Amino acid sequence: MDSTKEVLHGIANFSADISPSFPYVNAELGGWDYDRTNQVLLLKLSDGKWITLHPHKIAIRGIKDLEEAQALLDWIKGQINDIYARRESITPRYASQAGLKVMEILKLTPMTNCKACGYATCMAYAAALREGEVSLADCPPLWEEKFREKREKLQAYLDSFGWRALDAD
């Protein structure tokens, strides 16, 4: 634990290789980025915290103190054990949200910069959508009949990367 910096980092090391659980954890918890070659799974939490899973290590970024680090470590270890025990009923997921391109998302928005979503531009909305900070429901014009085709294509594009909102279960 490095408590000398404003943003604290916590690390736990294991002798066991936990990487066989990663495709199942990625499926159940919605990993932000999954590097299959190096077996690194990055989980983005909704409150600015990140958990990085390596074969023999769990790293946590953005925690306040030791107590929070321990609680998060206990939580993710419990999740890994539970998910791996249920793996036969889970479809492994190898895609990750980090592959989504903002420009591809932008092309599928109405591109009117109407601001109804709360963002000044469709580009800003597209960037937030990629991060999982907003959903398709936050762009009202997208639900108009004239944009139905765009909406369906955008939904399919997001689905192909296993997109999910940050606060999704």
Which burial class, exposed, middle or buried, applies to 23 when counting CB atoms under 10 A from its CB (0-12, 13-18, 19+)? Answer: buried
Tell me which amino acid residue 77 is: K
Question: Which residue stretch of 58-66, 91-99, 134-142, 148-156 sits at the interface with ligand SF4 (rule: CB under 6 A)?
Answer: 134-142
Q: Which lies closer to ligand SF4 via its Cβ, residue 70 or residue 113?
A: 113
Closest CA to 126 of 108, 112, 106: 106
Q: How far is the CB of 140 from ligand SF4 (least distance, A)?
A: 6
Buried-state track 114-151, b at ≥16 Cβ within 10 A, e below 16: eeebebebbbbbbbbbbbbebbbebbebbeeeebeebb
Q: Of residues 112-131, which lie at the interface with ligand SF4 (CB under 6 A)?
A: 112-117, 119, 122, 125
Q: CB of residue 161 vs ligand SF4: minimum separation in angstroms? A: 19
| CB of residue 6 to ligand SF4, shortest distance in Å | 33
110 near ligand SF4 (CB under 6 A) = yes
Rounded to whole angstroms, the Cα distance separating 62 from 46 reads 11
Nearer to ligand SF4, 93 or 151 (CB): 151
Q: Which stretches of the chain bind ligand SF4, using CB under 6 A?
A: 109-110, 112-117, 119, 122, 125, 139-142
